[in-house]
């Protein structure tokens, strides 16, 4: 029977105790995620999702190695090199933070090994040839927000986002989409993931008097800037958040301050509330039922869903790749990349993927779902 080998930094109290001896598995997956540091709120549910992975895929036993990158790009690069040079992995998964996942991409390409990113990283042209995204692109997830702005007659908006790759990706993608809709960007402010207040930024944004404000943050960290705006008197119902914030942590930490706000999300978070015609509904319900049975009601979020979807894409691609090579060989790793690029339309819990050689995001435009916080829960906006 397959055993999952989990290795974490000593700083992750109690987690290292779960480590078990490596299995003599045919298919080896190296996972680098943030179990400590500023984005541990993303990495921990991902780890819990990985704990539910099956014992085999495509008839091949799994050997899963999980390392903590501590939300540190340098550490993530070290983890990735270990995966390639020592563990001889067939697939790299990670990381949950955008700057950290981006740092891993070049190493994965050097090793000619597929990286399944757990963050929506925009990479420059010519980079990321071996990196495929499990989360939706910021361009796709911006669509439901701008569509809602159009319906409500929003003419101006402000931007308050992370001063890193995730924030810049959203700024880059929503700007032209809003401009095309005739919606003007009147102010841009940034903050660090480690900041504990955004007083100055909030005051500057409010002085511009935008009809709406987009907050770009993730996990429980998305509540702080949101509360900062509300505490300065900005209307609750005019604040929008990205798919990085589509987690109950926003509602738990934000409390009454996030009531009436809007969040762009993948389908998995609200799967049971979607129409039966939605291609992701059944898979999303399956994910939520499985994850919450193991981790408690209300624990499912999009980060755990991406871990669930890793299995779905591997279950489709691995049998294809096995026709050209065996795990542990360069032939298999190359064949796996080709399989992802040619396997076609693939429903997952977070949307419908259709990766190609030129598109490693792959999600279709209708993937995004707009949610509203109503009475401490999500309501789908139709």
**pTM of the complete model:** 0.83
Domains along the chain? 5-136+285-364 (3.40.50.2300), 138-265 (3.40.50.2300)
Positive or negative, the CA dihedral 269, 251, 160, 102 is negative
Each residue's pLDDT tens digit, 121-159: 989 888 999 999 999 999 999 999 999 999 999 999 999
Cα separation of 251 and 220, whole Å?
A: 9
For residue 347, what pLDDT is reported? 96
Share of the chain above pLDDT 70, in %: 93
Of residues 262, 366, 271, the one with CA closest to residue 309: 271
Look-up of token digits 């993530």: 76
Find the largest Cα–Cα distance for the chain: 62
Contact assessment for residue 325 and residue 332, using Cβ atoms and an 8 Å cutoff: yes
Each residue's pLDDT tens digit, 249-271: 999 999 999 999 999 999 998 99
- Average pLDDT of the residues of the chain: 92
Cα separation of 268 and 258, whole Å?
A: 21
pLDDT at 42 over 60: yes
Higher pLDDT, 64 or 16: 64
Entry field: residues in the chain: 382
For residue 126, what pLDDT is reported? 84
For residue 365, what pLDDT is reported? 87
Residue 299 — very low, low, confident or very high, per pLDDT cuts 50/70/90? very high
Range list of β-strands (E), the chain: 5-6, 27-33, 56-57, 60-68, 91-94, 114-117, 131-133, 156-162, 184-191, 212-216, 239-241, 262-265, 346-348, 351-353, 369-374, 377-380
| Helices first, then strands: H and E counts in the chain | 11, 16
Positive or negative, the CA dihedral 290, 293, 94, 99 is positive
Contact assessment for residue 148 and residue 166, using Cβ atoms and an 8 Å cutoff: no
pLDDT at 15 over 50: no
Cα separation of 175 and 239, whole Å?
A: 17
Of residues 56, 58, 78, the one with CA closest to residue 68: 78
Q: SS3 for 359? A: strand
Each residue's pLDDT tens digit, 228-241: 999 999 998 899 99
For residue 269, what pLDDT is reported? 87
Which whole number is the average pLDDT over 195-200? 95
pLDDT at 9 over 90: no
Long-range contacts, 273-281 (Cβ 8 Å, 24+):
273/378, 273/379, 273/380, 274/369, 274/380, 279/347, 279/351, 279/352, 280/347, 280/348, 280/349, 280/350, 280/351, 280/352
Residue 342 CA from chain centroid, whole number: 23
For residue 32, what pLDDT is reported? 98
For residue 10, what pLDDT is reported? 35
Which whole number is the average pLDDT over 328-351? 97
Contact assessment for residue 288 and residue 300, using Cβ atoms and an 8 Å cutoff: yes
For residue 67, what pLDDT is reported? 98
């Amino acid at each position: 029977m397959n055993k999952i080998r989990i290795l974490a930094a000593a700083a992750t109290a109690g987690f290292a105790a779960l480590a078990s001896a490596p299995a003599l598995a045919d298919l080896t997956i190296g996972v680098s995620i943030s179990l400590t540091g500023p984005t541990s709120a993303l990495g921990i549910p991902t780890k819990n999702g990985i704990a539910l992975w099956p014992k085999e895929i495509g008839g091949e036993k799994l050997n899963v190695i999980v390392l903590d990158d501590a939300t540190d790009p340098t550490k993530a690069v070290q983890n990735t090199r270990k995966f390639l040079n020592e563990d001889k992995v067939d697939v790299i998964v990670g990381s949950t933070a955008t700057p950290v996942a981006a740092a891993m991409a070049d190493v994965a390409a050097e090793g000619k090994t597929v990286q399944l990113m757990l963050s929506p990283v925009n990479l420059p042209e010519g980079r990321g040839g071996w990196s495929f995204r499990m989360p939706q692109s910021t361009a796709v997830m911006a669509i439901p927000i701008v569509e809602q702005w159009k319906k409500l007659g929003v003419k101006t908006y402000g931007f308050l986002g992370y001063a890193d790759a995730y924030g810049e990706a959203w700024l880059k993608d929503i700007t032209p989409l809003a401009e095309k809709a005739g919606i003007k960007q009147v102010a841009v402010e940034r903050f660090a993931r480690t900041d504990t207040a955004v007083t100055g930024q909030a005051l500057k944004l409010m002085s511009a008097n935008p009809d709406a404000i987009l907050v770009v943050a993730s996990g429980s960290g998305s509540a702080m800037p949101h509360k900062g705006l509300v505490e300065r008197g900005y209307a609750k119902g005019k604040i929008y958040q990205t798919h990085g914030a589509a987690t109950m942590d926003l509602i738990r930490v934000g409390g009454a301050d996030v009531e009436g706000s809007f969040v762009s999300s993948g389908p998995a978070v609200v799967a049971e509330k979607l129409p039966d015609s939605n291609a992701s509904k059944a898979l999303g319900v399956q994910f939520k039922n499985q994850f919450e049975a193991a981790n408690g009601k209300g624990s499912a979020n999009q980060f755990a869903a991406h871990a669930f979807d890793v299995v779905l894409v591997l279950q489709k691609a691995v049998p294809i790749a096995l026709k050209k090579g065996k795990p542990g060989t360069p032939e298999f790793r190359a064949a796996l990349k080709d399989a992802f690029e040619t396997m076609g339309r693939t429903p997952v819990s977070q949307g419908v993927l259709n990766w190609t050689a030129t598109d490693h995001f792959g999600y279709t435009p209708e993937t995004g779902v707009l949610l509203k916080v109503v009475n401490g829960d999500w309501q789908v906006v139709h």
